[in-house]
Amino acid sequence: MMMGHLSANTSKEYISAIAMGMTFLLLTAWTVVWGTGSAMDTLCSQSFGAGQATDLGLVFQAGWLAGNLLLAPTMVLGIFCKDILLLFGQTDDVATLASHLVLIMLPILPVALFYDLLRRVLQSQNIVTPLMGVSCVSVVATIAINYVLMFHTPLGYLGRAVAVVIMALLAPLLLWPYLVQSNVYRQEWKGLPFVYNFVS
């Protein structure tokens, strides 16, 4: 909605670029994040239902490791976003603008994966109130950050991508006080045995 107010002359290109950039990430990287999270839903619910708290930590580690291994090739695709969009018939202007957005958002994907998996672990234990609080704060903050970055900095349309990065970093930080105060992780997190066994 804000994108259309940036410039009367170039708003069409900006809107097209953000649509193409977000669609590109949705079809490549975000499907990996959400797909890994969906697989976690079943495993976390089974672990929690069986009273195996430490299994939740192992499932989280396995999900994060597998998700990052799957993200690696999709991030390579993101580097070549412009070429791929041109191959599918996009104009050079839109492909260039979209690729700038994608390149800004690529490095944040492992953090987004981490938060999504953490959210699934908490949901499987019926812990939803802190997640709802984080979501409410994130919605308001996203609107404010988008507005400031797009209209009051030289970033312009790139402010949208920077706002996504900021919010992806902010979400786990907002959840951190709850995790520390509640000690919910103490039974689940027994170090990194899965990772050690996997790499050794």
Instruction: Go through 27-36 and write b for each residue having 16 or more CB atoms within 10 A of its CB, e for each that does not.
Output: ebbbebbeeb
Please identify which residue in the block is written with the tokens 């957005």: 101
pLDDT tens digits, one per residue of 129-178: 999 999 999 999 999 999 999 889 998 889 989 999 999 999 999 998 88
pLDDT tens digits, one per residue of 92-127: 999 999 999 999 999 999 999 999 999 998 998 888
pLDDT tens digits, one per residue of 9-62: 557 888 889 899 999 999 999 898 888 888 888 888 888 888 877 788 888 888
Say if residue 196 is exposed, middle or buried (CB neighbours under 10 Å; 0-12, 13-18, 19+): exposed
Residue 181 has pLDDT above 80, yes or no: yes
What is the reported pTM? 0.83
